[in-house]
């Protein structure tokens, strides 16, 4: 239940002036930063962080007794081909506000554990009923439904424990750590991602916006906000990061759905398969309207970053780059979709 990154080289051309597009006033400074974001080497930044995060994740989930649970936890949390989008966004948001990435790594790892746990549970037969994830068998397909549930259940608290036990106290005061834990708990709980999954399963009229924001926007929002909290962001900055992260989280999924729909043209899709995967903007409104939604989300995310421009300058460039990449998909990370 998070924003994903297709590894396809597909390129999405959004309409320049969609019917429902919301105009955004741009300062010359923000235009400059947006231009620099196009030249920023996001792939190098992202892949470098993945290497560091993968190493720390491996250390954070050692195999203990009972070994079977830990093997199942590691299967999903350390899955080859994972894009680590939530932890990378957390680190980028922390660095935006002048924070040390060492302060963000424990929370970044916890976010990936929470992300992995949510995907394990999403894939279960009683949920989205997916037998594969990132081109490989889902957790329950390998370990069974009972162990998959336990692996997900174990990853959630391990993430919280990792934040408490590994966040450097000399870099992050305790009150900030508590706010980070509360933020993650909010995002995954009964008013967050769990609510989105429930409504997705139940269906109902006019539920698509709620489902998309909760299932996919919450993880993006939480990741950006946690990075800001670790760096000591003020309340206004937290709200900007909150709106930015939510917009980017939904944007990734909307674009994924558009690209998937375009790739299926001319191919029959089983009705049971469509039902299993839940509803999307594409399914409800069509590709054209979904493209308009994507352009609005891109504009909204960049508008929130413009508020950081004067104070933080080029530090905002990685976050600008995430927005453009969500639409353009100019390169591949890993070897499969998330």
Of 248-252, 276-280, 333-337, the range with the lowest mean pLDDT is: 333-337
Q: Which whole number is the average pLDDT over 266-283? A: 61
Q: How far apart are CA 69 and CA 101, in angstroms?
A: 30
Is 28 a member of any domain?
no
Strand partners, 222: none
pTM score, whole prediction: 0.88
Residue 6: predicted pLDDT: 46
Q: How far apart are CA 335 and CA 80, in angstroms?
A: 8
Residue 298's pLDDT band (cuts 50, 70, 90): very high
Q: How far apart are CA 327 and CA 298, in angstroms?
A: 8
125 in Cβ contact with 146 (< 8 Å): no
Query: In the predicted model, what is the mean pLDDT of the chain?
Result: 87
Phi and psi at 169, nearest 5°, equal -70, -25
Q: Which domain holds residue 221?
A: 41-233
Phi and psi at 61, nearest 5°, equal -125, 65
Residue 99's pLDDT band (cuts 50, 70, 90): very high
Strand partners, 137: 132
Q: pLDDT, tens digit, for every residue of 323-336?
A: 999 999 888 876 54
Strand partners, 136: 133
Q: How far apart are CA 57 and CA 130, in angstroms?
A: 25
- Has residue 4 got a pLDDT over 60? no
Is 204 a member of any domain?
yes
Q: How far apart are CA 140 and CA 131, in angstroms?
A: 8
Computed from CA positions of residues 242, 162, 157, 121, in that sequence, does the dihedral angle turn out positive or negative?
positive
Residue 10: predicted pLDDT: 54
Residue 21: predicted pLDDT: 35
Residue 1's pLDDT band (cuts 50, 70, 90): low
Whether omega before 66 lies within 30 degrees of 0, making that bond cis, reads yes
Is 297 a member of any domain?
no
- Has residue 142 got a pLDDT over 80? yes
Is 320 a member of any domain?
no
Q: How far apart are CA 182 and CA 142, in angstroms?
A: 33
Q: Helix axis angle, 235-263 relative to 85-96, nearest 10°? A: 150
Is 290 a member of any domain?
no
Across the chain, which distance is largest between two alpha carbons, in Å?
58
Residue at token pair 């594969």: 132
Question: By percentage, how much of the chain surpasses pLDDT 90?
Answer: 71
Residue at token pair 């909760």: 214
Residue 331: predicted pLDDT: 82
Residue 2: predicted pLDDT: 56
User: Looking at residue 124, which CATH number applies to its domain?
Assistant: 1.10.600.10
Q: pLDDT, tens digit, for every residue of 178-229?
A: 999 999 999 999 999 999 999 998 877 678 999 999 999 999 999 999 999 9
Residue 13's pLDDT band (cuts 50, 70, 90): low
Radius of gyration of the chain (CA): 19
Per-residue exposure over 89-102, b if at least 16 CB sit within 10 Å of its own CB, e if not? bbbbbbbbbebbbe
Number of domains the chain contains = 1
336 in Cβ contact with 81 (< 8 Å): yes
124 in Cβ contact with 140 (< 8 Å): yes
Question: By percentage, how much of the chain surpasses pLDDT 70?
Answer: 83
Is 3 a member of any domain?
no
Q: Which whole number is the average pLDDT over 132-159? A: 96
Q: Which whole number is the average pLDDT over 153-175? A: 98
Is 111 a member of any domain?
yes
Strand partners, 133: 136
Q: pLDDT, tens digit, for every residue of 40-88?
A: 899 999 999 999 999 999 999 999 999 999 999 999 999 988 899 999 9
Residue 185: predicted pLDDT: 97
322 in Cβ contact with 248 (< 8 Å): yes
Q: In terms of pLDDT, which residue wins out, 193 or 3?
A: 193
Residue 285's pLDDT band (cuts 50, 70, 90): confident
């Amino acid at each position: 239940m998070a924003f994903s990154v297709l590894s396809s080289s597909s390129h999405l051309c959004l309409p320049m002036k969609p019917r429902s597009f919301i105009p955004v006033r741009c300062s010359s400074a923000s235009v400059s930063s947006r231009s620099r974001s196009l030249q920023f080497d996001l792939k190098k930044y992202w892949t470098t962080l993945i290497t560091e995060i993968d190493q720390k994740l491996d250390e954070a989930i050692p195999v203990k007794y009972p070994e079977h649970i830990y093997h199942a936890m590691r299967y999903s949390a350390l899955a080859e081909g994972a894009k680590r989008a939530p932890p990378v966004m957390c680190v980028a948001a922390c660095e935006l506000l002048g924070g040390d990435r060492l302060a963000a790594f424990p929370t970044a790892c916890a976010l990936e554990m929470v992300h992995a746990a949510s995907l394990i549970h999403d894939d279960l037969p009683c949920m989205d009923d997916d037998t594969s994830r990132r081109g490989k068998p889902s957790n329950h397909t390998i370990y069974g439904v009972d162990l998959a549930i336990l692996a997900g259940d174990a990853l959630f608290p391990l993430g919280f424990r990792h934040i408490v036990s590994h966040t450097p106290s000399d870099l992050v005061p305790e009150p900030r750590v508590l706010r980070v834990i509360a933020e993650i708990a909010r995002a995954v709980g009964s008013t967050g991602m769990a609510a989105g999954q429930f409504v997705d399963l139940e269906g109902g009229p006019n539920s698509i916006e709620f489902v998309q924001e909760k299932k996919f926007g919450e993880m993006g929002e939480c990741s950006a906000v946690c990075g800001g909290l670790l760096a000591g962001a003020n309340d206004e900055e937290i709200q900007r990061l909150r709106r930015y992260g939510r917009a980017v989280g939904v944007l990734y999924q909307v674009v994924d759905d558009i690209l998937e729909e375009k790739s299926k043209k001319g191919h029959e899709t089983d009705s049971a398969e469509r039902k299993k995967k839940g509803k999307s903007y594409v399914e409800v409104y069509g590709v054209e309207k979904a493209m308009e939604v994507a352009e609005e989300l891109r504009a909204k995310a960049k508008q929130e970053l413009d508020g950081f421009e004067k104070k933080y300058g080029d530090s905002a460039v990685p976050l600008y780059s995430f927005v453009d990449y969500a639409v353009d998909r100019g390169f591949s990370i890993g070897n499969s979709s998330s």
